[in-house]
Each structure stands twice: as structure tokens, then as C-alpha cells.
Amino acid sequence: MAKVGRMKLGSQGLEVSQQGLGCMGMSAFYGPPKPEPDMISLIHHAVQSGVTFLDTSDVYGPHTNEILLGKALKGGIREKVELATKFGATYSEGKFVVRGDPAYVRAACEGSLKRLDIDCIDLYYQHRIDTSVPVEVTIGELKKLVEEGKIKYIGLSEASASTIRRAHAVHPITAVQLEWSLWSRDVEEDIIPTCRELGIGIVAYSPLGRGFLSSGSKLIENLPEGDYRKNMPRFQPENLEANKTIFERVNEMAAKKGCTPSQLALAWVHHQGNDVCPIPGTTKVENFNQNIAALSVKLTPQEMTELESFAATDAVKGDRYPENITTWKKANTPPLSSWKPGIQIDRHILHHSLEAQHHTTAMAKVGRMKLGSQGLEVSQQGLGCMGMSAFYGPPKPEPDMISLIHYAAQSGVTFLDTSDVYGPHTNEILLGKALKGGVREKVELATKFGISMSDGFKVEIRGDPSYVRAACEGSLKRLDIDCIDLYYQHRIDTRVPIEVTIGELKKLVEEGKIKYIGLSEASASTIRRAHAVHPITAVQLEWSLWSRDVEEEIVPTCRELGIGIVAYSPLGRGFLSSGTKLIENLSENDFRKYMPRFQPENLEKNKTIFERVNEMAAKKGCTPSQLALAWVHHQGNDVCPIPGTTKIDNLNQNIGALSVKLTPQEMTELESFAAADAVKGDRYASDITTWKNSDTPPLSSWKDRLDIDCIDLYYQHRIDTRVPIEITIGELKKLVEEGKIKYIGLSEVSASTIRRAHAVHPISAVQLEWSLWSRDAEEEVIPTCRELGIGIVAYNPLGRGFLSSGTKLLENLSEGDLRQLGSQGLEVSQQGLGCMGMSAVYGPPKPEPDMVALIQHAVQSGVTFLDTADVYGPHTNEILIGKDDFRKQAHHHHNTAMAKVGRMKLGSQGLEVSQQGLGCMGMSAYYGPPKPEPDMVALIHHAVQSGVTFLDTSDVYGPHTNEILIGKALSGGVREKVELATKFGIRISDDGKYENRGDPSYVRAACEGSLKRLDIDCIDLYYQHRIDTRVPIEITTGELKKLVEEGKIKYIGLSEASASTIRRAHAVHPISAVQLEWSLWSRDVEEEVIPTCRELGIGIVAYSPLGCGFFSSGSKLLDNLSQDDFRKALPKFQPENLESNKTIFERVNEMASKKGCTPSQLALAWLHHQGNDVCPIPGTTKLENLNNNIGAVSVKLTPQEMTELESFAAAGVVKGGRYAGDLITWRNSDTPPLSSWNKPNKLSASLFEH
């Protein structure tokens, strides 16, 4: 006997026993009813044993099982149990009928309460779904029964995923009962995930396969007459012969486990999760006791997998039920809008209608999605409204279109798309009318500007600021709203720099007239430039099975920048819905008639595409439009298609596409139908603007100098003594009010002038020359500033350079160097950068690329306050500052762009390293071809200058070339500034095979080789890279200890070592650090290895902290890997695992966006928060990635955020191992005992033959 625990069933508060008792067989279906006293005794025994969750139904008997339970609950038992019963399956004139209409629901409940002799049912299930009644109607009546106190919780049985969702939207569903056992697992695809997503408990009935998993084919031999199992497909002779093998294998495994087959099968169900409660039925006390014992049977993941293999889908023969029995596979109900109370629906007609619906997936739940990374949430599918008013024939009747829009919103399609050019204007006016009566608050509204139609329908593209503003005001008025949710530039004006257009849109955001900015038909470069001015939320583009040119550049750019993708014309302008029939029925003024793809010479070939899509749709049991839409939905959860329609039937069909599931193979097959060379004709006529001709002129052509909308701090450089200061400041005040400058400053000004200016408008800062040898400002000016709360900006703090190099400065001055003129300054960042000398006054202008690079470095280093003036050049210094994206970088500096890298003790032996290291492997090996040496040396130098001084290499990287590279980088005084770690122990033989070596002679030779390649005298930290499992670890560590004593290495480390190996090594000589793979999705080291290190005072070095780059860019990483990048072969990156794993990155990316950092910074920050004994060593070959990684040091995470992050990559979520099976890791790193070592002759000769 095992202890029966308690569990929460669902998220609504119901608590039940960990295992229930199915009571059906006591009274019905499994032969004649059993003696009542025996059954009551069994129920009492169950309750005393802790099984308090009892399951019955009004159809069991019928009614007699509930009456039996009623009797068993007397004498105080009722208060000890959780009672579930069911309604909905009844007999009428000898026929099995399913009912869910309100009157029946209420009558059934009253009958059950009476038979059970209780006041309230704990859990009341709809036993089978009435497909003639909308589930909302049935649940609505159950909700009333809850409110009346007649039932506590509502459940469903044998319900489809979509029915569960619809029911749950009316009233929370507590539990779903379904058949789930080793040989009935079809519910795992859709229903279980739906329940888990919604927090619904799972009750597994028939967990022993109707008793088959208890006794196999013997069960059938002993069934009495009247046992309905005799008629079940799986128990028929033609299937039983094959199925008995399943039981035999379960029975065999059970014998090895020391349990019964029924216990093993039940244990499998218990191991599905703590939200699952199986309810095995029995009529015998001994069987009941045996079932309880299943709770103490423990199964490993390997055993679970093995068990599942016994009853794989193709191994189980026969369906669960005969064809005439209702199950979840045909449990969809009609839409709520079809329900007319009091009118009897023809069940026969509706049955056929629903069967058709089932096969065409006509309705599905429309979920919600984040569109882009700026916070906009929309429906998973949108509604394109253009065709209601324009371009696709004459305008449709307004009342019909308003009804359609309302129906869409009620159905969950809340993302509505229009434009000022549709009509023109009439579509927006239509939407404005449709949004009345509280509809506005329920939808996300997108409109567009940028296409203007002048006289004679001449089209003009406009993006100039005055037009943008006027267009927005016009749309707001026509839509009769205060704010547009998403405002797109419909087409790009190629005469206006995109920065100018977006700059005006940014102002509209700040004024509250629009919430989010979008672009339509924009090129990748235009998107990037726009995004640098203000974050772009979404890009609208034509993307469908036959329009895929955007996949090469635009889609990747959007994903890189966190921009949502809105796919218009996802049905190929309707062609993928009806093929050539579409063209035959177009009205005269339908502009599709003139599109290239629909011309006779192209249509003849294109019709084949539709025919093949249609054929595949028929096989999938859906419509061709659903198949084509499903393909778009499968492109990623950042894509929202917006199919247009003017008919409710088509809208329902489009929504149904959400439930069409496609395998990778089906996706590939679909794409092959419409390969680039198969599609004939362009998308548009040649005179129409698309993303292919959407690049705009440079910003420098529009404005000069700074190219910004607002100056942060605007000084009067020198005081005009002819103009009262009040006049000058008054004008500056107006510029503040107009948003052209934020703060006012003065330079080289007297105390009295400061006071007079400050009285007109607060002065933020005064700039003055203040240094060790220029202190005259201290007498009056500084005290006045401090009295008035004015900041002080000290220019020339180094005495024009004299305090840096004295008279040497003068020896090196170039012709025309006038040091007594000019200014430098600081503010915002603790120190600023004076830019004057780059362009003027201090000799000739410096090379522009060098100066741009210098400013970039300054900003990345945290110096974000840049000082210039219009007189420097004149003007050329402002133009220089305006050249690059410094404005954006400066604004985002505090968003973890660059952080200070601290120092840390690595282990307890005295080694101090930088808080974050640099893994150098990818510079030379494994991650594609070696990178250019000069670039890598420069990167290492930048790392060291930035405070990342802990460098990691190995003799196997190359092999050898990475150490040689590091050796070169360490020359010129760099060696003294770094902590250098390298590794030994992996040898690549001449035939390319890997061998692990840890014998003394190899250790010594490897160390000498590394010292020579690195060109150093001593290695700071020397790791055993992989453990040689033929050599006792004491031998290897003993040789390393000698190298320490000889001064050739300072500290000893291990990599990929087990806890026991670490302990044994540490007993020979203290281990300073253990290197191991530790990241959000590689956490197996936390169980034993990490605690061992901490117990022994050993530092932890986390390699691959970004999951081999996965946490930087997700599945995009794989798209860009070179052929010889070894990550291509890693299990986690294989297609069968990647599809699941990419969800982890998406969730990390989403959280990072909320935190205002990059996903790689978030993943790295998680490691930094593991403790001050952990040093991650992310590798990179790019300067910007290094800076990004350093930024992780300043990302702060709460315990709740840590937990949330960990949940994204929980053990069951991550698919695939870290390495292929043949690689040595800590899991197979134990070495033989020291006593087995008998010097070299104990080893096979092969160890030394090299």
C-alpha cells in the first residue's frame, strides 16, 4: 500500500486525491451489476485509503450507479469525498442520444442531486458534447447552476480543443475527462496542450486500457455476456492478435521492475504531470490496493520512452470506440450566433453541417499575439477591409460591411486594417461608423498614409512632414477617433529621406495622435534607417505562397530588429481560394483584372499552382484558402496575416485556418508548388511602387549639420554685448516651448548676466574654462551657479593639453593650431567629449572615418555627452556629429550598451579575473573558417581595454592556431594586463580522430607546446580540457602539480569533470576553477557539479553561456552558419528539436524587449546572477557583440524574473542533448582508481605510440 497524496485539479481551487475511483463498472457496461453491499464496502475502503475522488454518471445504469453512490455517501462519508458526475448522454427509445440544451442540463442536474441525495455536486461534467447546441449555451446554463450553488465546478468529457476554448471563455472549466493511457495517446497533440495552456486539470479515464493493460488477452476470454468491451474494435480477433504483443512487453518490463503490469501502466499516467489524475475503475478490493501501489512506482525518462515505444501509434490496432460513438474528434458545436432559444434545430441537418465543419476546420479560437517588440498586442489574424470599399469592384452595402466587422470582432479578429487611399477615404469613414457603440475599445486599428490621388486619379507618393501631419489629422477625423493604434507609411516617398518622415511620425506619437509606427512595402535598408529614428512596430508586406521575395532580406531584417510582420494578400488576391474561377467572376472595375499574374499568358501556367494546393487541401480535410493561410501562420509567431473578405462565410473559413497544422514536410511540399520559377508574372504593373524601389535619399540631402529634431543642451557660446540677455533668452525659451531644444546653457558669462538670464528661463548649465591653471571662475561665477542650481561644464580641463604633456605639446603643434580658442565640455555622462579639435582650431581636420570610430567608441564606453558648435569649421564639426547614429546610441547607452567590468576572485586559491571573460575558440576553429588575424587581435585588445582581461583558449582550437593568435595579441605589454587560460587533453590524430590524453608525459609535452605557441613563461590557469578515463585523475593532477611547482603554470583547472573526479583531483592539489557548459538551457550541472565546486571553494567558469549563440538570435543563427560550423551537427539544432527549441528563444527575446536589453544580455545576466563565484566566457568575433555582452553586467534581475527565465527552458522543454553521443562530457568522466595505475606499462601501448 502506498500513501495517496492530494493534488490541485485545475486552477479553480478543486483539490482531490492523487488517484480517483471510476465507479461505472460497479453498475453497468462491464457485465451485470455487482452486489451493492460489496460495492459500498469497496467505496468505503477507497475513502479510508485516501482515494476520495469518486466518478460516476447519470448514464451508468442508467441512474443506478448514482443511486449506489448516494447510499455509500451516508454516515459522514459525503464530507470526506470529492464527487464527480456527468450528464449529456441519455437513452431515448433504445437509442443513444446526446443532449446539451439548457432545459435538459437543468433537469439532468436536478435528477442527479436527487439520486445522489446531496445538495451540491463537486464536479459536473458534460459527458458528451451535443453538436446541435453551441457549447456556450450549455456552459451558460451550467454557470447558472454554479451561481445557484447546485454545482461547484464545471467539467467536460471527450471535448475537442476548440470546444474547450469556447467553453472556457464562458466560465472557467476545472477539468477535462479524456481517455489517456499507454495505448490511447491521440489527446496529446491538441487537447492536453490546450488544457495546460488554460490551467484545466486532466482526468484520465480507462488508464488501464479498459483492463487490457492488467491482464492482456485473458481479459477478453473472461468477459461476461453483456460486457460492452466485447464490441470494441481493439478487442476484435483481427486486432487482438497484434495488440497482445503490447501487453506482453509491458508485462515483461513490469516483472523487471518488480511490479504488476497494471501498476506499471498506471505509473506511466501518473508520470505525465501533477495536473493529471487517473481514475481506474475496479470492483475488487485487491485490484484497488494494487492500483494505489502504482503511486510508488518510479520511472526514469528512459523507461517512459521505452514504455511508449511498446504502444506506438502504428503498434496499436483498432479504434477506441465503434464509429457510431461520439468522441472529441467530432465534438465541435455550431457558432453561438446560430442559436435561437425555443426553436428546435433539426439535429440531422445540423449533424451533417457540423461534419462538414469538422472536415474544413471552419471555426477556431483566434488567439492573441505580440506584434513586434514595442508592446502592441493584436489578434492572431487580422481583417483587411480594403475590398469593402474600393479596388475589388463596386463598394459593398454599408450595413452588411458593418455587420461583418462586428462579427469579426466578436469572433476574436480585432486587428482591422484600412487606409486613407481606400475609396479614397470612404473605407475609413465606414470603419468609423463600425467602431461606434463600444466597438472601438475592443479593436486594434491600423490605417495608412502616403498615397495621394489627385485629379484624373494620378497617384502621388508623399512623405514630407506637412503631408504626414495633415494625413493623420484627416484619418483621425474620418475614423472619428482620438488616436490611431498603428499608423503605416503606405508607400515610401523616394524624394524624402525616410528619417524626415519618421521624425514627423515620432512627433505624432509624442502628441498622442498615434501609438505605433509601421511601414509598408519598404526595403531592408529603409526599414533600418527608419528604425534608427523611432522603433518601427510592424512592416506590412505582401507574403503568400506565391509571393515570397521578401524572405531574402526584408523578413530577416524585421526579425533582427524585433519588428512584427503583417502579411497582406496572404491568399494571393483571392487566387489561392478559387483559382481561375476568381478571374472569371471579377467585375469590370476590379483592379485585379490588370495585374500581371492574372493575364491570360500567365494565368494558364499559374492555375496549376492552385490545382496542386487544392488537391493537398482535400487530403488535409480543409479548404485551399485555409491551407494557404495556414502556411503563412506557420511562418512564425511574429507574423499576422490580414486576409480581406466581404462575406461572413469566408471570414469563418479564414479563422478556421488557425487550426490547420502543417508538418515541415508539408510546408516544403506546399512551397514547391509555387517555387519562384513556377509563378508567372510580377505582383504589380511596372509603374507601381514596391519595396524594390523604395530607397530614399540620405538625410544629409534634406537638412544640414546635426540632422536631429531636438538639441539636448543649447548654449549661447559667447554673449552678444549689444543685445540685452533677456531678449536672447526669451527667444531660446520659445525654442524650448516648440520642442526644438530641451535645455538652455550659457558659455563664458559673468555672474550678473547669469542671474538676469536665469530670471527669464532657468539656465541648466554654464560652460566655462576651469582647470588647475584656470581658476578665476571660482570667485564669482561658480558660487552664482551653485546658488541658482545651475550645472557647471568645465571645458579645457587639461589646460588645452598642457597638463597632459607640458612643453612637448608646443613642440608638436601643427601650423595654424590656435589653442587659445574653442571649448570642450561634459554633462549627462560623468565625462563628456569635446569634438572641436576633430574639425577645426587644433590643426587641420582629422580623417572623418577615424573621428566617427572615435565617437562610436566614446559612446560605447559611456561617454555620451558630445560637445560641438556651429562655429567649429565653421559647420563641419556639426556635420561630422550628424553623420552616424550617435544620437540613438547616446540615448540607449544606459540601456546596457556598455557597462563597467568588475573584478572577481575565481575560486579560493588567489586567482583574480575579470567578471566576464572572452572565449576565443570561434576566432580560429569550429565556428566556420578562421577569422582575419588583424581583426581578432584588434578585438582582443578592445576587450582588454574594456576590462575583459580573462582570455580563454585551448591547444585543440585550430589545432594550435588559436594559441598562436593569442600569443601575437599578447605582445606589446598586453600580457601583463590579462589572465590567460588554456587547456590540454584533446589530441587530434593524423587521421582526424579525437583522443583524450591525461598521462604525465603528454601533460608535460602539451604544456611546453602551449607555452611556446603563446610565447609566455607561465600559464595563469591550465585546464584539463577533457578527462582521460584510462588514467586515474590523481596521476594527471600530480603532473600538473609539478608544473605549478616549476612555475610553468599558476593555477589548475578541470573542464567537463564529474563531481567525484573533481573531489579526487582536489585532494591531490587545490583546483582553482572548473569549466563547464552552463546556460539557461544547459543546467544539468546544477545537481551535483556546481554544489561540489562550491563546497570545495572552486570557481566556476561557464562556457557557451549563450547556448552556442542560440540566445543571441534564435533559429536565425542556424540559417547563417557556414558549412564547416560544428554547431550544425549539435542535437539541439537539428530540425526535429529546433522547432520546439525556438520557442525558448522567442520567450527570452520577448522578456528582453520588456527589460530594455538584448536577448543575449538577458541570458548572460541570468548567469551573472548565479553567484559571485561564476565567470561566464561568451565567445565572439565581433566588436559590437563584445560590447553587447559586456552590457549584460549591468542588467539586474529579480528572483521572480530569474524563475520566469528558467521556466522558459525547463528540462522538459529543451529538446536534444548538448553533444552527439560519442563525445566525453562530465557524465562519463570518471577515471579508474589510483590503485589500478602501474606506471606506463599498465596502459595499452596505444596511449604512448604518438
Tens of pLDDT, residue by residue over 687-744, are 676 777 778 888 866 644 455 678 888 999 889 888 899 999 999 999 988 888 988 9
Structure confidence at residue 457 (pLDDT): 54
Which residues, 6 or more positions from 1148, have their beta carbon under 8 angstroms from its beta carbon?
1080, 1111, 1159, 1162, 1163, 1205, 1208
* 154: β partners: 124
End-to-end CA distance of the chain: 61
- Rounded to whole angstroms, what are the CA distances from 218 to 215, 232, 562? 6, 15, 61
803 pLDDT tier (thresholds 50, 70, 90)? low
For residue 823, is pLDDT > 50?
A: no
Looking up cell 476554448, which residue turns up? 165
- Rounded to whole angstroms, what are the CA distances from 819 to 365, 777, 1149? 72, 19, 50
Q: Looking at 171-185, 401-415, 907-921, 984-998, which range is the least confident one?
A: 984-998
Structure confidence at residue 808 (pLDDT): 53
The more confident residue out of 1119 and 1170 is: 1170
Instruction: Please state, in angstroms and rounded to a whole number, the distance separating the CA atoms of residues 909 and 1052.
Output: 10
108 pLDDT tier (thresholds 50, 70, 90)? very high
C-alpha cell at 537: 512596430
Q: H-helix or E-strand containing 265?
A: helix 261-270
Q: What are phi and psi of 452, to 5 degrees?
A: -115, 135
Instruction: Please state, in angstroms and rounded to a whole number, the distance separating the CA atoms of residues 1102 and 29.
Output: 60
Look up residue 544 and give its DSSP letter: B
Q: Looking at 117-126, 221-230, 861-870, 954-963, which range is the least confident one?
A: 861-870
Instruction: Please state, in angstroms and rounded to a whole number, the distance separating the CA atoms of residues 1248 and 161.
Output: 64
For residue 795, is pLDDT > 80?
A: yes
Number of helices followed by number of strands (H, E) in the chain: 46, 42
Instruction: Please state, in angstroms and rounded to a whole number, the distance separating the CA atoms of residues 456 and 467.
Output: 20
What is the number of other CB atoms lying within 10 angstroms of the CB of residue 148?
Answer: 11
Structure confidence at residue 348 (pLDDT): 32
* 175: β partners: 155, 201
Structure confidence at residue 226 (pLDDT): 79
For residue 346, is pLDDT > 60?
A: no
Largest pairwise CA distance in the chain: 116
For residue 814, is pLDDT > 50?
A: no
User: What would the pLDDT profile of 531-547 be if each residue is shown by its tens digit?
Assistant: 999 999 999 999 998 88
Structure confidence at residue 79 (pLDDT): 96
Which residues, 6 or more positions from 808, have their beta carbon under 8 angstroms from its beta carbon?
none
Structure confidence at residue 287 (pLDDT): 94
- Percent of the chain with pLDDT strictly greater than 90: 61
Instruction: Please state, in angstroms and rounded to a whole number, the distance separating the CA atoms of residues 587 and 568.
Output: 22
For residue 260, is pLDDT > 50?
A: yes
User: What would the pLDDT profile of 152-186 be if each residue is shown by its tens digit?
Assistant: 999 999 999 999 999 998 999 999 999 999 999 99
For Cα atoms 792, 794, 796, give the angle at the middle one, nearest 5 degrees: 170
For residue 236, is pLDDT > 50?
A: yes
User: What would the pLDDT profile of 1198-1250 be if each residue is shown by its tens digit?
Assistant: 989 999 999 999 888 899 888 776 677 888 899 999 988 875 443 433 333 22
Whether 774 and 761 have beta carbons less than 8 Å apart is answered as: no
For residue 603, is pLDDT > 70?
A: yes
Whether 993 and 943 have beta carbons less than 8 Å apart is answered as: no
Structure confidence at residue 1239 (pLDDT): 54
- Rounded to whole angstroms, what are the CA distances from 674 to 152, 555, 1192? 54, 19, 44
Section 439-452 average pLDDT = 94
609 pLDDT tier (thresholds 50, 70, 90)? confident
Burial of 680 (0-12, 13-18, 19+ CB in 10 A): middle
Structure confidence at residue 615 (pLDDT): 92
Structure confidence at residue 548 (pLDDT): 87
- Percent of the chain with pLDDT strictly greater than 70: 90
Instruction: Please state, in angstroms and rounded to a whole number, the distance separating the CA atoms of residues 1003 and 19.
Output: 58
93 pLDDT tier (thresholds 50, 70, 90)? low
Structure confidence at residue 9 (pLDDT): 97
pTM for the full predicted model: 0.38
Give whichever of 610-614, 690-694, 769-773, 967-971 has the largest mean pLDDT. Answer: 967-971
Q: Looking at 409-418, 436-445, 458-467, 1069-1078, which range is the least confident one?
A: 458-467
Q: Which positions are annotated as active-site residues?
A: 422
Section 780-790 average pLDDT = 91
The pLDDT mean for the chain works out to 87
Catalogue the E-assigned strands of 926-1011. Answer: 950-952, 979-984, 986-988, 994-996
Structure confidence at residue 452 (pLDDT): 83
Structure confidence at residue 516 (pLDDT): 97
302 pLDDT tier (thresholds 50, 70, 90)? very high
Instruction: Please state, in angstroms and rounded to a whole number, the distance separating the CA atoms of residues 1061 and 1226.
Output: 9
Structure confidence at residue 100 (pLDDT): 94
Structure confidence at residue 433 (pLDDT): 94
For residue 341, is pLDDT > 70?
A: no
C-alpha cell at 1183: 566588436
User: What would the pLDDT profile of 847-893 be if each residue is shown by its tens digit?
Assistant: 776 787 788 777 767 777 788 877 776 667 777 777 654 554 443 33
804 pLDDT tier (thresholds 50, 70, 90)? low
Section 1155-1167 average pLDDT = 94
